[in-house]
Structure 1
């Protein structure tokens, strides 16, 4: 039966909906409109050039594989980009661009294309396998350069760099990276793999989720091919297993992984594991595996602090060639403090809505668009409230902040208060200075710069400022 345009696109959406996160689906796939089906070519209309570029960078592989699953292996994709929405006199102006940049996938490579250009249907049973044919399954955007370092991840990131420089020849084997959802475990693990491939292309690297590992094991068990399965994994030089906590429901898969782990470790190969918990807190995982997880280093990732969240946003904007008012960046970093994934998701949603509505990004748009992401403040923090917090924290009398004195503890308390007032209130530099005995705006500028410099050189000072930042944030919620 001939497939209609809407049938094809709705079938694609049903598949995509099960793969991408709900918010990303709403932002990037619901606005797409199927406009034409030419034999095996599906034409989809997108609302802007930015929208098209984002799909090409992040979702073109998914769109290509999904379309081939629905239309067949010869399916192709084209974009119709809305250049001008038109009006009652003029028709909308559009341009058509073919999709490009994705790999050619055959039917039996769709689920897990470990081996490139190999005619064997089963990617694990490969007589005379050449190591260089193994696809590492790494996302090239996950690098150390794009992974912002802060107090929340410094140990894990630096351990990862050490592993990448000397895989298998360091004391961090295995390297276990653990932390909550959206804190960058997968990014860091894949950054290690990408760095290994960059430095030594001959190293065989493989990234695989624990769920994929388990599913492959089950398939090979049914075909009595467990030895082939284990043998394949023993070929790897750097094995990255994501979300090992899911091994808790797969006893026999744990047995296979135990054999693989032992062989790789004894052969001087590198293992990198990620988990949502520390090894000691993993339930349902064999004790003999847990003991081996503890052989190396377990490094945790924590929620990034306010300064790091700002740097994450600024780094992403710079990489994507985007600009946004500083007050909007601060608003996002201030309100979204749960994890990096939500932070980046909020930024993407804001940019998408700006593109769709053809409107400049400002604080008003950010508050309106991101109400599903952020918990808006029930009250605005005041300079007086910040002064009181700092005085209580350092046990300094309020009137001391206003006096002209060179006592170090008073001067620093005043400088920190000015710094926080500039960061967390909308007051001008002049207004802030007036709250400190009538000082002028240049004093405020000098104080803010002094605080930034001391945070870079004095760990104790930085910790005090960061703790006060958290107190101010909580007070505003």
Structure 2
């Protein structure tokens, strides 16, 4: 049975959730000031949230977790309903339909008179956006899920969800993509909003130019403090620039006090930006600080697929696997790898396969990591699968040894520079056709069995770690 007291229910549920979720994720999505949990019966509960986006987010990402926790608290199954405040009784899908109708009315209002002009949905002059940097084209994974969800929330409810939204992470992980996706989404919903999106360097240069021509300073301030949405990329560029920090401090205060949305990006969290004034560090942390991490293997594979398919040149599955295994740093390098492999194959009039990928990326892979050898692969495979190297090289066809041998051959092919002949020799003098059969067998199972694929990814990670 659920506690009837709302505070007791919340405390027990939130205590359990805090132990199941990463700390930053828990703080971002289970703030008592933003959501409200109530028991609507002995085995029924309602989660009240502020808007349609949040209802959809909890429905998609947290329903199962919440139901499990509630069942633990009640010691039995619990029915969970997710409601938008003031609209009890609707399912989140109904909210989405209602929201779509509202947006359609906003985008296509009835003209007030015969000479009314349609509202343009194209960005205004001065707002330069990459048309590919949209939410639809952003690949979501565990490394960027919080940042993506927060960006969508801000785009749906500017000034209401997280203000400011501060995104940070290394170069090439998708922060700029999210900034521009916010711009695109807001422009679709309300093209009349005044959006300023620029790099911090541009802000500093514009400020310096206005100071040098004093009559321009007030015009600069009027422009920056009259916006509805302010997005600044690379805000860490403010470091060491006292005058620019002072100016941005007052711009920030003016916009925040007027509930105008502010979104900032940096390569570091606010507290780690050197020589940034404490008052700015504090203000940058008022809303939500979300980190964008290096994409996981699964996310890298998804990104590669998205980029290759967008070019109209999808790659074989083992090529995605090979690239994702060897390029781990950032999304830009993954995009560059897709372009390079596709161009290399096209120029040589060859089909895209593992050999083409290996040749096209040879220089990049030599710099990327220490080389993996066939014995490195065999050592890890034997340790993890409980066989001996001599058994891999033997004529034995027992199921366990054959399976280990096929996996070893496949990983040797994807992780080393060895030819199929060299691999065959290292595995007991197997001929070319036997090596090809082993590789094809593993590739086929990867395509049909996600758990098998995850197992191979773990093996590959273990092999790479052995080289550190």
- Same fold per TM (> 0.5)? yes
> Which residue among 187, 197, 200 is the counterpart of 2:177?
187
For residue 450 of structure 2, what is the aligned residue in structure 1? 452
Equivalent positions of 1:184-333 (< 5 A) are: 184-224=174-214, 225-333=216-324
Contact in 2 for aligned 1:176/1:273 (Cα 8 Å):
yes
Q: Distance in 2 between matches of 1:330 and 1:454?
A: 13
Q: Distance in 1 between matches of 2:209 and 2:248?
A: 15
User: What SS class does the counterpart of residue 374 from structure 1 fall into?
Assistant: helix
Q: Distance in 2 between matches of 1:167 and 1:419?
A: 54
| Alignment partner of 1:168 is 2:162 | no
RMSD of the TM alignment (CA)? Answer: 3.7
Q: Distance in 1 between matches of 2:311 and 2:186?
A: 25
> Which residue among 318, 331, 340 is the counterpart of 1:340?
331
Shift of 1:379: 1.2
Q: TM-score, normalised by structure 2?
A: 0.58
Equivalent positions of 1:99-114 (< 5 A) are: none
Equivalent positions of 1:21-100 (< 5 A) are: none
Q: Could you report, residue by residue, the CA deviation over 1:373-394 in whole angstroms, capped at 9, with x for unpaired residues?
A: 2237331477754444546xxx
Q: Distance in 2 between matches of 1:158 and 1:423?
A: 37
Contact in 2 for aligned 1:176/1:293 (Cα 8 Å):
yes
User: What SS class does the counterpart of residue 142 from structure 1 fall into?
Assistant: coil
For residue 117 of structure 2, what is the aligned residue in structure 1? none
Shift of 1:451: 5.9
Segments of structure 2 that go 5 or more residues without pairing to the other structure are 1-122, 392-399, 415-419, 428-436
Give the helix-richer structure, 1 or 2: 2
Q: Could you report, residue by residue, the CA deviation over 1:122-158 in whole angstroms, capped at 9, with x for unpaired residues?
A: xxxxxxxxxx855432222101111111111111111
Q: Distance in 2 between matches of 1:207 and 1:183?
A: 19
Contact in 2 for aligned 1:240/1:271 (Cα 8 Å):
yes
Q: Could you report, residue by residue, the CA deviation over 1:286-337 in whole angstroms, capped at 9, with x for unpaired residues?
A: 1111100010111111111111111101011122211223222222111111
Shift of 1:366: 2.2
Q: Aligned in 2, Cα 1:473/1:295: closer, same or farther, shift over 3 Å?
A: same
| Alignment partner of 1:378 is 2:372 | yes
Q: Aligned in 2, Cα 1:301/1:465: closer, same or farther, shift over 3 Å?
A: farther
Q: Aligned in 2, Cα 1:420/1:186: closer, same or farther, shift over 3 Å?
A: farther
User: What SS class does the counterpart of residue 372 from structure 2 fall into?
Assistant: coil
User: What SS class does the counterpart of residue 231 from structure 2 fall into?
Assistant: strand
Q: TM-score, normalised by structure 1?
A: 0.57
Q: Aligned in 2, Cα 1:300/1:373: closer, same or farther, shift over 3 Å?
A: same
Q: Aligned in 2, Cα 1:450/1:316: closer, same or farther, shift over 3 Å?
A: closer
Q: Aligned in 2, Cα 1:238/1:465: closer, same or farther, shift over 3 Å?
A: farther
Segments of structure 1 that go 5 or more residues without pairing to the other structure are 1-131, 392-396, 403-412, 435-439, 456-461
Shift of 1:162: 0.8
Q: Aligned in 2, Cα 1:169/1:476: closer, same or farther, shift over 3 Å?
A: same
Shift of 1:199: 2.1
User: What SS class does the counterpart of residue 361 from structure 2 fall into?
Assistant: helix
Q: Distance in 2 between matches of 1:454 and 1:364?
A: 24
Q: Distance in 2 between matches of 1:179 and 1:420?
A: 35
User: What SS class does the counterpart of residue 373 from structure 1 fall into?
Assistant: helix
User: What SS class does the counterpart of residue 274 from structure 1 fall into?
Assistant: strand
Shift of 1:164: 0.9
Q: Aligned in 2, Cα 1:359/1:175: closer, same or farther, shift over 3 Å?
A: same
Deviating runs (4+, > 6 A) in structure 1?
416-423, 440-447
Contact in 2 for aligned 1:380/1:476 (Cα 8 Å):
no
Q: Aligned in 2, Cα 1:360/1:237: closer, same or farther, shift over 3 Å?
A: same
For residue 465 of structure 2, what is the aligned residue in structure 1? 474
Contact in 2 for aligned 1:381/1:475 (Cα 8 Å):
no
Shift of 1:257: 0.9
For residue 147 of structure 1, what is the aligned residue in structure 2? 138
Contact in 2 for aligned 1:342/1:373 (Cα 8 Å):
no
Q: Distance in 1 between matches of 2:197 and 2:444?
A: 49
Q: Aligned in 2, Cα 1:362/1:203: closer, same or farther, shift over 3 Å?
A: same
